[in-house]
Amino acid sequence: MRGEEQDPDDPVTRYPQPEFPQQEQNHPGWTGPMDPPPDHGEESYRGSGLLEGRKAVLTGGDSGIGRAVALAFAREGADVLFTCLPAEEDEAAETTRLVTEAGRRAVPLACDIREEEQCRLLIERAVEEFGRIDILVNNAAYQMSQPDGIQAITTEQFDRVMRTNLYAMFWLSKMALPHIPKGGSIINTTSVQAYKPSPHLLDYATTKGAIVTFTQGLAQMLAADGIRVNAIAPGPVWTPLIPATMPDTTTFGKQAPLGRPAQPAEMAPAYVFLASPQASYITAEIVNATGGTPLP
Protein backbone atom coordinates (compact mmCIF):
# COMPACT_ATOMS: atom_id res chain seq x y z
CA MET A 1 0.00 0.00 0.00
CA ARG A 2 3.00 2.30 0.27
CA GLY A 3 2.94 2.63 -3.51
CA GLU A 4 -0.62 3.96 -3.62
CA GLU A 5 -1.06 7.50 -4.82
CA GLN A 6 -1.55 9.76 -1.82
CA ASP A 7 -4.77 11.79 -1.75
CA PRO A 8 -4.46 14.89 0.47
CA ASP A 9 -8.20 14.81 1.15
CA ASP A 10 -8.39 11.14 2.14
CA PRO A 11 -7.16 10.53 5.72
CA VAL A 12 -6.47 6.90 4.86
CA THR A 13 -4.12 7.53 1.93
CA ARG A 14 -2.91 11.03 2.76
CA TYR A 15 0.31 9.65 4.24
CA PRO A 16 2.32 6.42 3.79
CA GLN A 17 0.75 3.21 5.03
CA PRO A 18 2.43 0.05 6.31
CA GLU A 19 4.17 -2.11 5.54
CA PHE A 20 7.35 -0.12 6.18
CA PRO A 21 10.94 -1.39 5.98
CA GLN A 22 12.22 -2.97 9.18
CA GLN A 23 14.56 -0.41 10.75
CA GLU A 24 16.40 -0.17 14.04
CA GLN A 25 18.25 2.71 15.69
CA ASN A 26 19.98 3.32 18.96
CA HIS A 27 18.06 5.43 21.44
CA PRO A 28 17.09 8.30 21.20
CA GLY A 29 16.72 7.85 17.43
CA TRP A 30 17.43 10.03 14.45
CA THR A 31 15.05 11.52 11.86
CA GLY A 32 17.37 11.26 8.85
CA PRO A 33 17.46 7.47 8.30
CA MET A 34 13.72 6.95 8.77
CA ASP A 35 11.86 5.38 5.84
CA PRO A 36 9.40 6.87 5.09
CA PRO A 37 10.67 10.25 6.35
CA PRO A 38 8.42 11.89 8.96
CA ASP A 39 6.40 14.96 7.96
CA HIS A 40 6.55 17.80 10.50
CA GLY A 41 4.55 20.22 8.38
CA GLU A 42 7.60 21.75 6.72
CA GLU A 43 5.75 22.20 3.42
CA SER A 44 2.15 22.15 4.59
CA TYR A 45 1.64 24.13 7.79
CA ARG A 46 0.36 27.67 7.22
CA GLY A 47 0.02 29.97 10.20
CA SER A 48 -2.70 32.57 10.74
CA GLY A 49 -1.45 34.52 13.75
CA LEU A 50 -3.22 32.43 16.39
CA LEU A 51 -0.26 32.71 18.81
CA GLU A 52 1.11 36.10 17.82
CA GLY A 53 3.57 37.38 20.43
CA ARG A 54 3.25 34.34 22.69
CA LYS A 55 6.22 32.78 24.48
CA ALA A 56 6.33 29.00 24.55
CA VAL A 57 8.39 26.40 26.42
CA LEU A 58 8.37 22.93 24.90
CA THR A 59 10.17 19.79 26.07
CA GLY A 60 11.40 17.30 23.51
CA GLY A 61 11.34 19.75 20.62
CA ASP A 62 14.22 18.31 18.63
CA SER A 63 12.22 15.79 16.58
CA GLY A 64 8.88 14.07 16.16
CA ILE A 65 5.77 15.67 17.62
CA GLY A 66 7.91 18.26 19.41
CA ARG A 67 9.49 19.49 16.19
CA ALA A 68 6.10 19.71 14.50
CA VAL A 69 4.68 21.69 17.43
CA ALA A 70 7.66 24.07 17.51
CA LEU A 71 7.28 24.70 13.78
CA ALA A 72 3.53 25.29 14.04
CA PHE A 73 3.88 27.57 17.09
CA ALA A 74 6.48 29.65 15.27
CA ARG A 75 4.39 29.97 12.13
CA GLU A 76 1.51 31.08 14.34
CA GLY A 77 3.70 33.85 15.80
CA ALA A 78 5.23 32.39 18.97
CA ASP A 79 8.83 32.39 20.15
CA VAL A 80 9.90 28.92 21.30
CA LEU A 81 12.37 27.63 23.86
CA PHE A 82 12.64 23.90 23.43
CA THR A 83 14.66 21.18 25.09
CA CYS A 84 16.60 18.21 23.81
CA LEU A 85 19.02 15.72 25.25
CA PRO A 86 22.72 16.52 24.74
CA ALA A 87 22.86 13.62 22.25
CA GLU A 88 20.10 15.26 20.20
CA GLU A 89 21.69 18.65 19.53
CA ASP A 90 22.12 17.92 15.82
CA GLU A 91 18.42 17.16 15.56
CA ALA A 92 17.65 20.31 17.54
CA ALA A 93 19.54 22.40 14.97
CA GLU A 94 16.89 21.53 12.37
CA THR A 95 14.08 22.64 14.68
CA THR A 96 15.99 25.86 15.31
CA ARG A 97 16.24 26.42 11.57
CA LEU A 98 12.51 25.91 11.05
CA VAL A 99 11.54 28.28 13.88
CA THR A 100 14.01 30.93 12.75
CA GLU A 101 12.87 30.73 9.13
CA ALA A 102 9.36 31.40 10.39
CA GLY A 103 10.66 34.72 11.74
CA ARG A 104 10.51 33.79 15.41
CA ARG A 105 13.10 33.29 18.15
CA ALA A 106 14.31 29.77 18.75
CA VAL A 107 16.12 28.94 22.00
CA PRO A 108 17.36 25.33 21.99
CA LEU A 109 18.43 24.02 25.38
CA ALA A 110 20.24 20.71 25.88
CA CYS A 111 19.36 19.39 29.32
CA ASP A 112 18.20 16.33 31.23
CA ILE A 113 14.72 16.96 32.60
CA ARG A 114 15.00 13.88 34.83
CA GLU A 115 16.87 16.17 37.23
CA GLU A 116 14.95 18.73 39.28
CA GLU A 117 17.80 21.24 39.15
CA GLN A 118 17.90 21.01 35.35
CA CYS A 119 14.17 21.79 35.26
CA ARG A 120 14.70 24.81 37.51
CA LEU A 121 17.48 26.12 35.26
CA LEU A 122 15.26 25.54 32.22
CA ILE A 123 12.49 27.74 33.61
CA GLU A 124 14.99 30.38 34.71
CA ARG A 125 16.42 30.45 31.19
CA ALA A 126 12.95 30.83 29.68
CA VAL A 127 12.12 33.75 31.95
CA GLU A 128 15.50 35.32 31.22
CA GLU A 129 14.91 35.02 27.47
CA PHE A 130 11.19 35.85 27.29
CA GLY A 131 10.16 37.52 30.54
CA ARG A 132 7.15 35.20 30.89
CA ILE A 133 5.82 31.82 29.79
CA ASP A 134 2.48 31.88 27.97
CA ILE A 135 2.52 28.23 26.92
CA LEU A 136 4.17 25.23 28.58
CA VAL A 137 4.12 21.98 26.61
CA ASN A 138 5.24 18.92 28.58
CA ASN A 139 5.97 16.67 25.61
CA ALA A 140 9.26 14.82 26.18
CA ALA A 141 8.91 11.15 27.03
CA TYR A 142 10.89 7.95 27.30
CA GLN A 143 9.74 4.47 26.39
CA MET A 144 11.42 1.11 25.82
CA SER A 145 9.53 -1.94 24.65
CA GLN A 146 9.93 -5.05 26.81
CA PRO A 147 8.17 -7.96 25.09
CA ASP A 148 9.45 -10.39 27.76
CA GLY A 149 7.20 -8.93 30.43
CA ILE A 150 7.53 -7.21 33.77
CA GLN A 151 10.58 -9.27 34.73
CA ALA A 152 12.51 -7.55 31.93
CA ILE A 153 11.75 -4.05 33.22
CA THR A 154 14.68 -3.06 35.38
CA THR A 155 14.46 -0.58 38.21
CA GLU A 156 16.77 1.65 36.18
CA GLN A 157 14.37 1.65 33.22
CA PHE A 158 11.31 2.15 35.43
CA ASP A 159 12.97 5.07 37.17
CA ARG A 160 13.97 6.67 33.87
CA VAL A 161 10.43 6.40 32.49
CA MET A 162 8.89 7.84 35.65
CA ARG A 163 11.33 10.71 35.99
CA THR A 164 11.16 11.69 32.32
CA ASN A 165 7.42 11.35 31.84
CA LEU A 166 6.03 12.31 35.27
CA TYR A 167 8.54 13.99 37.56
CA ALA A 168 9.61 16.47 34.88
CA MET A 169 6.00 17.38 34.12
CA PHE A 170 5.36 17.99 37.83
CA TRP A 171 8.53 20.03 38.35
CA LEU A 172 8.15 22.15 35.23
CA SER A 173 4.47 22.88 35.80
CA LYS A 174 5.13 23.88 39.41
CA MET A 175 8.15 26.02 38.53
CA ALA A 176 6.59 27.68 35.49
CA LEU A 177 3.31 28.69 37.16
CA PRO A 178 4.61 31.89 38.82
CA HIS A 179 5.56 33.07 35.32
CA ILE A 180 2.37 32.07 33.46
CA PRO A 181 -0.09 34.99 33.16
CA LYS A 182 -3.87 34.76 32.99
CA GLY A 183 -4.75 33.34 29.60
CA GLY A 184 -1.76 31.05 29.70
CA SER A 185 -1.90 27.37 28.91
CA ILE A 186 -0.26 24.10 29.94
CA ILE A 187 -0.51 21.23 27.46
CA ASN A 188 0.65 17.72 28.33
CA THR A 189 1.25 14.83 25.94
CA THR A 190 -0.42 11.64 27.09
CA SER A 191 -1.21 8.68 24.79
CA VAL A 192 -3.72 6.09 23.67
CA GLN A 193 -1.62 3.91 25.98
CA ALA A 194 -3.28 5.65 28.94
CA TYR A 195 -6.53 3.84 28.11
CA LYS A 196 -5.47 0.83 26.05
CA PRO A 197 -2.08 -0.21 27.44
CA SER A 198 0.14 -2.51 25.43
CA PRO A 199 1.71 -5.09 27.75
CA HIS A 200 5.18 -4.55 26.27
CA LEU A 201 4.95 -0.85 27.22
CA LEU A 202 3.73 -1.38 30.78
CA ASP A 203 5.80 1.30 32.51
CA TYR A 204 5.29 3.86 29.73
CA ALA A 205 1.53 3.26 29.67
CA THR A 206 1.43 3.68 33.45
CA THR A 207 2.89 7.17 33.17
CA LYS A 208 0.52 8.13 30.38
CA GLY A 209 -2.45 7.19 32.56
CA ALA A 210 -1.03 9.33 35.35
CA ILE A 211 -0.66 12.28 32.96
CA VAL A 212 -4.40 12.18 32.27
CA THR A 213 -5.16 12.34 36.00
CA PHE A 214 -2.57 15.06 36.62
CA THR A 215 -3.96 17.15 33.76
CA GLN A 216 -7.55 16.98 34.91
CA GLY A 217 -6.67 17.67 38.54
CA LEU A 218 -4.33 20.57 37.82
CA ALA A 219 -6.87 22.11 35.44
CA GLN A 220 -9.43 22.34 38.22
CA MET A 221 -6.81 23.75 40.58
CA LEU A 222 -5.85 26.55 38.17
CA ALA A 223 -9.16 27.39 36.51
CA ALA A 224 -9.92 30.32 38.82
CA ASP A 225 -6.47 31.74 38.01
CA GLY A 226 -7.30 31.89 34.30
CA ILE A 227 -4.77 29.22 33.32
CA ARG A 228 -5.99 26.28 31.24
CA VAL A 229 -4.54 22.77 31.41
CA ASN A 230 -5.26 20.17 28.74
CA ALA A 231 -3.63 17.12 27.20
CA ILE A 232 -3.40 15.40 23.85
CA ALA A 233 -3.53 11.63 23.52
CA PRO A 234 -1.89 10.57 20.26
CA GLY A 235 -2.22 7.11 18.84
CA PRO A 236 0.73 5.65 16.88
CA VAL A 237 2.90 8.45 15.47
CA TRP A 238 5.84 7.94 13.12
CA THR A 239 8.77 9.48 15.05
CA PRO A 240 12.41 8.47 15.74
CA LEU A 241 11.26 6.95 19.02
CA ILE A 242 9.71 4.09 17.05
CA PRO A 243 12.80 2.59 15.35
CA ALA A 244 14.77 3.37 18.52
CA THR A 245 12.47 1.51 20.93
CA MET A 246 10.17 -0.88 19.06
CA PRO A 247 11.31 -4.31 17.84
CA ASP A 248 9.05 -4.34 14.75
CA THR A 249 8.53 -1.26 12.57
CA THR A 250 7.05 -2.99 9.52
CA THR A 251 3.41 -2.86 10.61
CA PHE A 252 3.59 0.09 13.01
CA GLY A 253 0.26 1.92 13.08
CA LYS A 254 -1.56 -0.65 10.96
CA GLN A 255 -3.83 -1.49 13.90
CA ALA A 256 -5.42 1.99 13.85
CA PRO A 257 -8.79 2.09 12.07
CA LEU A 258 -7.27 4.51 9.55
CA GLY A 259 -4.71 1.78 8.81
CA ARG A 260 -1.56 3.83 9.29
CA PRO A 261 0.42 5.80 11.87
CA ALA A 262 0.00 9.54 12.17
CA GLN A 263 2.66 11.92 10.99
CA PRO A 264 3.90 14.52 13.52
CA ALA A 265 2.35 17.24 11.34
CA GLU A 266 -1.08 15.80 12.09
CA MET A 267 -0.64 16.31 15.83
CA ALA A 268 0.57 19.92 15.82
CA PRO A 269 -2.76 21.66 15.02
CA ALA A 270 -4.31 20.26 18.20
CA TYR A 271 -1.55 21.83 20.29
CA VAL A 272 -1.99 25.14 18.49
CA PHE A 273 -5.73 25.12 19.12
CA LEU A 274 -5.41 24.33 22.82
CA ALA A 275 -2.77 27.03 23.25
CA SER A 276 -4.83 29.66 21.44
CA PRO A 277 -7.57 32.00 22.67
CA GLN A 278 -10.02 30.02 20.52
CA ALA A 279 -9.89 27.34 23.24
CA SER A 280 -10.66 29.77 26.07
CA TYR A 281 -13.47 27.62 27.51
CA ILE A 282 -11.59 24.35 27.16
CA THR A 283 -9.70 23.06 30.17
CA ALA A 284 -9.29 19.64 31.85
CA GLU A 285 -9.85 18.03 28.44
CA ILE A 286 -7.99 15.19 26.74
CA VAL A 287 -7.98 15.55 22.96
CA ASN A 288 -7.75 12.09 21.45
CA ALA A 289 -5.89 11.89 18.16
CA THR A 290 -5.79 8.14 17.67
CA GLY A 291 -6.69 7.51 14.04
CA GLY A 292 -10.08 6.11 14.98
CA THR A 293 -9.34 4.04 18.09
CA PRO A 294 -12.20 4.90 20.46
CA LEU A 295 -11.20 6.07 23.92
CA PRO A 296 -13.27 6.93 27.01
* Chain segment 10-27, per-residue pLDDT in tens: 999 999 999 999 999 998
State the chain's maximal CA–CA distance in angstroms. Answer: 52
Q: For 155-196, how does the pLDDT look when each residue is reduced to its tens digit (9 = 90+)?
A: 999 999 999 999 999 999 999 999 999 999 999 999 999 999
Residue 230 and residue 51: Cα distance in Å, rounded?
Answer: 17
Annotated catalytic sites, by residue? 204
Domains and CATH numbers, the chain: 55-289 (3.40.50.720)
State the Cα–Cα distance between residues 83 and 53, nearest whole angstrom.
Answer: 20
pTM tops 0.75, yes or no = yes
